[in-house]
């Protein structure tokens, strides 16, 4: 069986897809977002429920879904924290290098 070659994406492609993901999750235009916007301060969840994910839960799942084992350990020990849109985008760029298929899936890059 022949291996299927996956399309390669640049760091900027991943950053832009991550920005589109944040805009989509918060139902905002990309133009309304700036890299320094902080989750929980500038970007708030619309509701909190034990039965349905809010916007911040969704992004937390994104972050953890694409993280490799050392990154997960850094999150668990608070050595790495995602606070801003820029942090989220850069995490996706780093994760693309170690788990490209997961990032492609989460950010719907194809």
Query: Structural domain of residue 83, as residue ranges?
Result: 11-29+36-107
Residue 91, Ramachandran bin (φ over 0: left; ψ between -120 and 50: alpha; else beta): alpha
Residue 1 belongs to a domain: no
Confidence class for position 1, pLDDT limits 50, 70, 90: low
Residue 2 belongs to a domain: no
Q: Please give the pLDDT value at position 22.
A: 97
Instruction: Provide mean pLDDT across the span 1-23.
Output: 88
Residue 90 belongs to a domain: yes
pLDDT 10s digits, 41-96: 999 988 776 778 899 999 999 999 999 999 999 999 999 999 999 999 999 999 99
Tokens of 82: 């995602």
Residue 4 belongs to a domain: no
Torsion (CA) 91, 95, 101, 107 in degrees, nearest 10: 0
Residue 5 belongs to a domain: no
Residue 64 belongs to a domain: yes
Q: Is residue 3 scored above 90 in pLDDT?
A: no
Residue 59 belongs to a domain: yes
pLDDT 10s digits, 14-26: 999 999 999 999 9
Single pTM value for the model: 0.90
Residue 79 belongs to a domain: yes
Query: Domain total for the chain?
Result: 1
CB atoms within 10 A of CB 90: 17
Q: Please give the pLDDT value at position 105.
A: 96
């Amino acid at each position: 069986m022949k291996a299927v070659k996956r399309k390669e994406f640049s760091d900027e492609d991943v950053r832009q897809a991550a920005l589109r993901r944040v805009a989509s999750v918060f139902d905002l235009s990309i133009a309304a977002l700036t890299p320094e916007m902080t989750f929980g301060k500038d970007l708030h969840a619309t509701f909190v429920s034990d039965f349905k994910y809010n916007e911040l839960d969704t992004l937390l799942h994104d972050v953890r879904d694409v993280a490799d084992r050392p990154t997960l350990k850094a999150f668990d020990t608070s050595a790495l924290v995602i606070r801003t849109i820029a942090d989220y985008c850069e995490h996706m760029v780093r994760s693309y290098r170690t788990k490209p298929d997961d990032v492609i899936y989460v950010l719907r890059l194809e």
